[in-house]
Structure 1
């Protein structure tokens, strides 16, 4: 009887230890963070001389310098990045918009704000002057980047357009702007940090009009750090560093480096 009890206790201990060993605790500190970037206009793009540059890269580089982190950078699509954050194969990403479903897998540290605009072919701006007006003309189509969020009003509008088969989903902003340039779509959804460099790249200057159809829907974005891999104390250190970068003017200088002074001031309103 005693031997059976000892055997049961030993087996229970083995199972508990095995279960505990299989659950990884979020690590403290920022040593060897796997940081995923994604190509997006002025946020992250190829520099003229080769290599990557952009607002997101400069923000991460400054955080690395201030906090003494080491990072393993990668570049991927936004869809795969969110999957990696959820599975734990990625520790951190950039310019992410907090949403309830995303809060379950990551903690957010904001560093900029902005909003989406609709870019129309210039000859259409006189007849298309609102979301409802666009919706009322079934011949017109719009392109967006797959998995991107655009604010409540735009998402409701896009859902109605999707029901009518009038939304093209593209893998990235470059593909979206090419559809626009070729006339496959009549409009695209973009932020200023997206269209500034792409308009130059696609030689679209003077061919489009910017429509501000949701002027009150600013969206805050920033770092997202995996809940599975990064503890709350480390997230707090990132938040403190971002606050210091805002107060000492570093964030403004980074924004101005890749956009302009007016846009940089607007991006600081988070």
Structure 2
């Protein structure tokens, strides 16, 4: 894989001096399965480990707060946090910060086996199914998925919940029939809720792999600090650190599939702010 000279230099450079740090470096996290979770009052997960390694490389103290997904973006817009991780890109979020991709993601349909039917796309589920879909507030989907969700809403088959933990607990207690989730999310909850034998995971062809990553606040970072953080994070993609971190949670092969297989696209998608 080709590594741009600047990123190669950053990958081998010592930690950046503390004067580049925002004051404070305050990250927001929310329920995203193995990417970010809260356990015994500690926030963990692959995306959180990426942020902690980024803080170590930039020599900046890091504070992490936990929020419901929709509230996280309200806190970000209000300037109370200046860094997020494992976020999909949108025009609204771009107005608030700089997107730095470091991983890919896509959604699949998690369907209770109490519901009959097998589907090869979300469109088939909409046209031929009857189950209700639980969606998490504040999660972004591709336009193709949104179009099918709109059809489900017209049929009265959508329920909105605050986080994935609620969606999967509802499935475990037979109060929900289906949800959309990436592998990094459903793999955690199928195990913790004992759902492995009770659900089927089906493809959502409308959900092509998309980039996810960090958002660096426009107001919380100086342009120079944003540049240092962005280049340090991209260096973690090129030197294999992000893939290794994700591999600890989802297995080495899945870690490579989420990061290394798309590294060139991840790096090429980075757009420095003027």
Matched, 1:240 2:204: no
TM-score (norm. length: structure 2) = 0.82
TM-score (norm. length: structure 1) = 0.83
SS of the equivalent of 1:41 reads coil
Task: Check conservation: 1:140, 1:186, Cα contact below 8 A.
Answer: yes
Q: Which runs of 4+ in 1 moved over 6 A?
A: none
* 2:90 corresponds to which of 65, 75, 99: 99
Answer with 204-213 or 189-198: which moved more: 204-213
Task: Check conservation: 1:36, 1:76, Cα contact below 8 A.
Answer: yes
Structure 1 residues 113-124: aligned runs within 5 Å: 113-122=104-113, 124=115
Listed one character per residue, the Cα deviations across residues 228-248 of structure 1 (whole Å, up to 9, x for unaligned) are 221232222122112221222
Alpha-carbon spacing, 1:127–1:108, altered in 2? closer, same or farther (3 Å): closer
- Indicate the residue corresponding to 2:100 in structure 1: 109
**What CA distance in whole angstroms lies between the structure 1 residues aligned with 2:74 and 2:53?**
26
- Indicate the residue corresponding to 1:74 in structure 2: 65
Structure 1 unaligned residues grouped into runs of 5+: 1-26
Instruction: Please report the RMSD computed on the Cα atoms of aligned residues, expressed in angstroms.
Output: 2.1
Q: 1:181 Cα deviation (Å)?
A: 2.1
Answer with 136-145 or 74-83: which moved more: 136-145
The size of the alignment, in residue pairs, is 243
Listed one character per residue, the Cα deviations across residues 98-146 of structure 1 (whole Å, up to 9, x for unaligned) are 1111111111111110100111123646444432332224632111111
Alpha-carbon spacing, 1:138–1:258, altered in 2? closer, same or farther (3 Å): closer
- Indicate the residue corresponding to 2:253 in structure 1: 262
Task: Check conservation: 2:43, 2:66, Cα contact below 8 A.
Answer: no
User: Which structure is larger by alpha-carbon Rg, 1 or 2?
Assistant: 1
Structure 2 unaligned residues grouped into runs of 5+: 1-18, 267-274
- Indicate the residue corresponding to 1:6 in structure 2: none
- Indicate the residue corresponding to 2:185 in structure 1: 194
- Indicate the residue corresponding to 2:22 in structure 1: 30
* 2:126 corresponds to which of 116, 120, 135: 135
- Indicate the residue corresponding to 2:74 in structure 1: 83
Task: Check conservation: 2:141, 2:207, Cα contact below 8 A.
Answer: no
* 1:158 corresponds to which of 138, 149, 153: 149
**What CA distance in whole angstroms lies between the structure 2 residues aligned with 1:97 and 1:128?**
26
